[in-house]
């Protein structure tokens, strides 16, 4: 069966108290909308229509970055969920198949649940997704059931006391034949407590035509919606707990799981050990058998097998670490390839650079990659020994097997096997230290006497 997704994302999200449209607030560094798109995307939809409104341009940009084939429609005025879905009518003209309506602010929906909705559609004309609420709350529409037949949905505001006590509530997600859905939407009125066009009127309208409606159940955690920053933090927490558990099940050691922050796209191989307080920003892949030591921050990078990072290391976008590399404390690596077995162990910045196999970068080395206007590249060959506190003023190349003396400022290329020294020659003055000490002590004594 062909499937089209309609994802509602026009709401303002007043309670977020933000300039950013609600659906773009991130969970695990990924906008909520993108989470919803990925869940729906697992069904291989023929069309994905995003209904935008508040912050439409920003929302459209984020949606297209995830799926450039997504169709963006705009709901100028937010007149209710049925009105929102109606905006997808032109985009889906001629489409024959099922529409699944998703909410952009409900990021945890499981693709398997959506699959179950599609399966339920084989025996029912309209399928809603519901869940049992643990506590009665004045928030969700109530699903009025007779056996497995969904009679109607009553919004909390419009419900009687008796209906409000029902725990089977509406997630808002729906599956229905496209043509039928738009026909039913045409019949929706806004005569209710909110004066909105409710999508939740569809079951009653379908029943009136003698069609069959049902509601299937999912876990409350899947329908967790986000309305405020407090909800957002809670949702992120739910994501983190799940993702950490999955990683541990896949054979990754998290020494203090609750202190490791993951992104939605973090990939970590088995037998890798993650020490406490590590942050994974977007776009990180760590292969098997690596060690990420405490307080490291990784983003947009690739760490190969057997590498050791940190403690207190920062890997920025474009850091590409080959097997068995070592990046130690207070080292920042950006847009740089560190080849197999190379070491950058202490207090260094390696940016816009390549470091060859087996090279050792001494403490305090800086690739001076920026001249204030442009970025330049540093190339360090194989088995190079870069002495501590070397400044490599890019663009510059250090050949294979070369060495730089401690404290050297390298401004010219160094040929292979050469030693680069660029610092004043040392001079020792015999007896001078003793003289200097005596002079200073005498000065101090005179000062103490005077005061």
The residue ranges that bind ligand UD1 (CB under 6 A) are 8-11, 51, 53, 75, 78-81, 83-84, 103-105, 140-141, 153, 155, 169-172, 198-200, 225
Return the number of the residue (190 or 406) whose C-beta is nearest ligand UD1.
190
Return the number of the residue (74 or 421) whose C-beta is nearest ligand UD1.
74
Return the number of the residue (120 or 154) whose C-beta is nearest ligand UD1.
154
Angle between helices 56-66 and 32-41 (to 10 degrees): 40
State the DSSP H helix or E strand holding residue 113, giving kind and residue range, or none if neither.
helix 111-120
b/e per residue, 367-385, with b = 16+ CB within 10 A? bbbeeeeeebbbbbbbbbb
**Shortest Cβ distance from residue 194 to ligand UD1 (Å)?**
8
Greatest alpha-carbon pair distance for the chain in Å reads: 108
Helix (H/G/I), strand (E/B), else coil: 60: helix
**Shortest Cβ distance from residue 144 to ligand UD1 (Å)?**
12
376 is catalytic: no
Return the number of the residue (132 or 438) whose C-beta is nearest ligand UD1.
132
**Shortest Cβ distance from residue 131 to ligand UD1 (Å)?**
9
| Token representation of residue 121 | 């559609």
Find the catalytic residue in 35, 297, 346, 376: 346
Any long-range contacts for 87-95 (C-beta under 8 Å, 24+ apart)?
87/51, 88/4, 88/6, 88/49, 88/51, 89/182, 91/47, 91/49, 92/4, 92/6, 92/47, 92/49, 92/178, 92/182, 95/2, 95/4, 95/46, 95/47, 95/178
Task: Residue 308: name the closest of 282, 276, 275, 283 by CA.
Answer: 275
Return the number of the residue (144 or 366) whose C-beta is nearest ligand UD1.
144
**Shortest Cβ distance from residue 289 to ligand UD1 (Å)?**
43
Which phi and psi angles does 287 have, rounded to 5°? Answer: -80, -175
**Shortest Cβ distance from residue 121 to ligand UD1 (Å)?**
19
Return the number of the residue (20 or 393) whose C-beta is nearest ligand UD1.
20
**Shortest Cβ distance from residue 171 to ligand UD1 (Å)?**
6
Helix (H/G/I), strand (E/B), else coil: 356: coil
**Shortest Cβ distance from residue 79 to ligand UD1 (Å)?**
5
Query: Helix H segments across 166-228?
Result: 178-187, 202-208
Return the number of the residue (10 or 363) whose C-beta is nearest ligand UD1.
10
Task: Residue 11: name the closest of 91, 99, 79 by CA.
Answer: 79
Helix (H/G/I), strand (E/B), else coil: 159: coil
Quickly count: other Cβ atoms within 10 Å of residue 27's Cβ: 23
Q: Cβ contacts of residue 436 below 8 Å, gap of 6+? A: none
User: To which residue do tokens 């967790």 refer?
Assistant: 224
What distance lies between CA 387 and its chain's CA centroid? 38
Distances (CA, A) of 350 to 148, 191, 360, 387, 429: 63, 65, 12, 14, 37
- Which residues participate in catalysis according to the annotation? 346
């Amino acid at each position: 069966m062909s499937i089209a997704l309609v994802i509602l994302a026009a709401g303002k999200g007043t309670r977020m108290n933000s300039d950013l449209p609600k659906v773009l607030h991130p969970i695990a560094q990924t906008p909520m909308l993108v989470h919803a798109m990925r869940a729906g995307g697992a069904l291989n939809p023929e069309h994905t229509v995003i209904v935008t409104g508040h912050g439409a341009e920003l929302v459209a940009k984020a949606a297209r970055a995830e799926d450039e084939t997504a169709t963006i429609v705009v709901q100028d005025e937010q007149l209710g969920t049925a009105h929102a879905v109606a905006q997808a009518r032109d985009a889906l003209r001629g489409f024959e198949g099922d529409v699944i309506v998703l909410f952009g602010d409900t990021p945890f929906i499981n693709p398997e649940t959506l699959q179950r909705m599609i399966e339920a559609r084989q025996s029912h004309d309209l399928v809603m997704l519901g869940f049992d609420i643990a506590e009665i709350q004045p928030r969700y529409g109530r699903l009025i059931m007779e056996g497995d037949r969904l009679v109607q949905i009553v919004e909390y505001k419009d419900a009687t006391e008796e209906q409000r006590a029902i725990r089977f509530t509406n997630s808002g997600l729906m599956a229905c034949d496209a043509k039928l859905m738009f026909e039913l939407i045409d019949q929706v009125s806004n005569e209710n407590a909110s004066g909105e066009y409710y999508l939740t009127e569809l079951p009653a309208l379908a029943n009136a035509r003698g069609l069959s409606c049902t509601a299937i159940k999912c876990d409350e955690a899947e329908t967790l919606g986000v309305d405020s920053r407090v909800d957002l933090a809670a949702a992120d927490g739910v994501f983190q707990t799940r993702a950490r558990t999955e990683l541990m099940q896949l054979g990754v050691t998290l020494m203090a799981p609750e202190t490791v922050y993951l992104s939605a796209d973090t990939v970590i191989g088995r037998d890798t050990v993650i020490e406490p307080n590590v942050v994974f920003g977007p776009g990180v892949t760590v292969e098997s058998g690596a060690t990420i030591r405490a307080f490291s921050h990784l983003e947009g990078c690739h760490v190969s097998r057997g590498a050791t990072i940190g403690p207190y290391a920062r890997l920025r976008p474009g850091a590409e670490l080959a097997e068995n590399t070592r990046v130690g404390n207070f080292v920042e690596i950006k847009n740089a390839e560190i080849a197999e077995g190379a070491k950058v162990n202490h207090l260094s910045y390696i940016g816009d650079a390549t470091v060859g196999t087996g090279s050792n970068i001494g403490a305090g080395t800086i690739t001076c990659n920026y001249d204030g206007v442009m970025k330049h590249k540093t190339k360090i060959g194989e088995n190079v020994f870069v002495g501590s506190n070397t400044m490599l003023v890019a663009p510059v190349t250090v050949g294979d097997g070369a060495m730089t003396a401690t404290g050297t400022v390298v401004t010219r290329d160094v040929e292979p096997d050469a030693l680069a020294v660029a610092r004043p020659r040392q001079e020792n003055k015999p007896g001078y230290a003793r003289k200097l000490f005596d002079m200073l002590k005498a000065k101090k004594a005179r000062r103490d006497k005077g005061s």
